[in-house]
C-alpha cells in the first residue's frame, strides 16, 4: 500500500547577490537549511528549492523566481518560504503586488526573519493589510495612466491605434497615402448614394459595426477623443466637416 500525501507542499526560495555574499556573508545554503527546518517543523513537506545565485533583487526578472511564480500559478505547492523580504524583492511595489497575486492563487507566503506569514489568523490579517496596499498601488497606477491619457488627448496626441487612413510615425498621427482615398470614398459613397451600411461594409471587407464606427470617427475631422472628452488634435483632417455632418444625419435618420 502506497503512502498518501497528506501534508501541504512548500516551495523554498533563496537568493543572494554577489555583493550580499561579499559584504554580509549571506549564504544560500544557510538560508536554505533554516527554511527547510522551519517548513518541516510547522507541518510542510518540501516540493522544491528555487535558488537564484548572484542575482539582484531590483526586480522579479530572475530565472528561478519566474519559474516559482509559474509553478505557484499552477498550484504545484501550498506555500512559499523565504528567509527575509529583501531576499524576495527590494521593490515594495513588486513585493506587495506579488503577494496579492499569490493570495488569488491560494498560495501562503512565509518570511522567516520578518515574522510574516499568511497561514495563521494574525498572518492573514497582515496579508489583508498588504493586499490593501496592493489595491491602493493599482489605483494609483490607474489614476496616473488615466491622467496621462487625458492630458495626451487634450494636447492632441495619439491615444489609441491609428484609424484607417492614418498611420503612426514617431508617435504622431500622419496621413496614410495608401489608404486616405479609401476613407474619403467611403464617406462620399455613403453620403451621396443609396448604399446601405451592410453593402458598404461588404464592399470594403469590413463588418457592419466596423463601417459604422469608421463613419462616426471624429479623428477624421482632426480631433482626438478620450473618456468622452473631445479635443482638437495635432493631426491633419481628411474629411470635411460638411461631409461628416451629412453622414451623421443619414446614420441617425
Question: Is the pLDDT confidence value at 88 over 80?
Answer: no
Same domain, 16 and 137: yes
Same domain, 138 and 13: yes
Mean pLDDT of the region 65-85? 91
C-alpha–C-alpha distance, residues 207 and 132, integer Å: 44
**Looking at 17, 89, 111, 131, which residue is catalytic?**
17
Q: List, in order, residues 6 or more apart from 94 with CB less than 8 Å away.
A: 59, 60
Same domain, 88 and 116: yes
Element (H, E) at 92: helix 92-105
Q: Which of 117, 142, 167 is the last residue of a domain?
A: 142
Residue 152 lies in a domain: no
Residue among 32, 92, 6 at smallest CA distance from 57 = 92
C-alpha–C-alpha distance, residues 72 and 78, integer Å: 8
Which domain range does residue 173 map to? 157-252
Q: Which of 99, 119, 142 is the last residue of a domain?
A: 142
CATH code where residue 74 lies? 3.40.50.1390
Q: Are residues 109 and 99 in contact, defined by beta-carbon separation less than 8 angstroms?
A: yes
Residue among 72, 122, 63 at smallest CA distance from 102 = 72
CATH code where residue 231 lies? 3.90.1750.20
Catalytic residue check, 17: yes
Question: Is the pLDDT confidence value at 25 over 50?
Answer: no
Residue with the three cell numbers 476613407: 183
Same domain, 37 and 124: yes
Same domain, 181 and 223: yes
Q: What is the DSSP string of 164-194?
A: TTEEEETTEEEE-TTTHHHHHHHHHHHHHS-
Confidence band for 194, pLDDT divided at 50, 70 and 90: very high
| pLDDT given at position 130 | 63
| pLDDT given at position 24 | 45
Question: Is the pLDDT confidence value at 158 over 90?
Answer: no
Q: List, in order, residues 6 or more apart from 232 with CB less than 8 Å away.
A: 156, 222, 223, 224
Q: Which of 142, 169, 187 is the last residue of a domain?
A: 142
Same domain, 161 and 90: no
Q: Are residues 223 and 232 in contact, defined by beta-carbon separation less than 8 angstroms?
A: yes
Residue 171 lies in a domain: yes
Print the SS3 string covering 207-221: CHHHHHHHHCCHHHH
Ramachandran area for residue 222 (φ above 0: left; ψ -120 to 50: alpha; else beta): left
Cell triple for 243 = 461631409
Same domain, 74 and 184: no
Same domain, 35 and 117: yes
Q: What is the pLDDT of residues 54-74, one digit of tens each?
A: 776 666 788 898 999 999 999
More confident residue, 207 or 122: 207
Q: What are phi and psi of 49, to 5 degrees?
A: -105, 125
Residue 54 lies in a domain: yes
From residue 160, alpha-carbon distances to 140, 167, 215, 226, 238 in Å are 21, 11, 17, 9, 18
Residue 53 lies in a domain: yes
Amino acid at each position: 500500500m502506497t503512502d498518501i500525501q497528506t501534508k501541504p507542499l512548500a516551495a523554498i526560495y533563496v537568493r543572494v547577490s554577489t555583493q550580499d555574499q561579499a559584504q554580509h556573508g549571506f549564504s544560500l545554503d544557510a538560508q536554505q537549511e533554516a527554511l527547510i527546518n522551519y517548513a518541516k517543523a510547522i507541518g510542510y513537506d518540501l516540493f522544491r528549492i528555487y535558488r537564484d545565485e548572484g542575482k539582484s533583487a531590483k526586480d522579479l526578472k530572475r530565472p528561478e523566481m519566474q519559474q516559482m511564480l509559474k509553478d505557484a500559478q499552477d498550484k504545484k505547492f501550498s506555500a512559499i518560504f523565504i528567509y527575509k523580504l529583501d531576499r524576495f524583492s527590494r521593490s515594495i511595489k513588486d513585493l506587495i503586488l506579488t503577494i496579492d497575486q499569490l493570495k488569488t492563487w491560494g498560495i501562503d507566503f512565509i518570511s522567516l526573519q520578518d515574522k510574516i506569514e499568511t497561514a495563521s489568523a494574525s498572518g492573514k490579517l497582515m496579508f489583508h493589510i498588504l493586499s490593501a496596499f496592493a489595491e491602493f498601488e493599482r489605483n494609483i497606477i490607474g489614476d496616473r495612466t488615466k491622467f496621462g491619457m487625458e492630458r495626451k488627448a487634450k494636447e492632441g496626441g495619439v491615444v489609441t491605434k491609428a484609424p484607417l487612413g492614418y498611420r503612426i510615425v514617431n508617435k504622431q498621427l500622419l496621413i496614410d497615402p495608401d489608404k486616405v482615398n479609401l476613407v474619403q470614398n467611403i464617406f462620399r459613397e455613403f453620403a451621396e448614394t443609396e448604399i446601405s451600411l451592410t453593402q458598404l461594409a461588404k464592399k470594403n471587407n469590413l463588418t457592419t459595426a466596423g463601417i459604422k464606427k469608421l463613419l462616426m470617427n471624429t479623428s477624421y475631422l482632426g480631433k482626438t477623443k478620450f473618456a468622452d472628452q473631445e479635443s482638437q488634435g495635432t493631426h491633419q483632417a481628411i474629411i470635411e466637416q460638411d461631409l461628416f455632418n451629412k453622414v451623421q444625419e443619414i446614420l441617425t435618420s
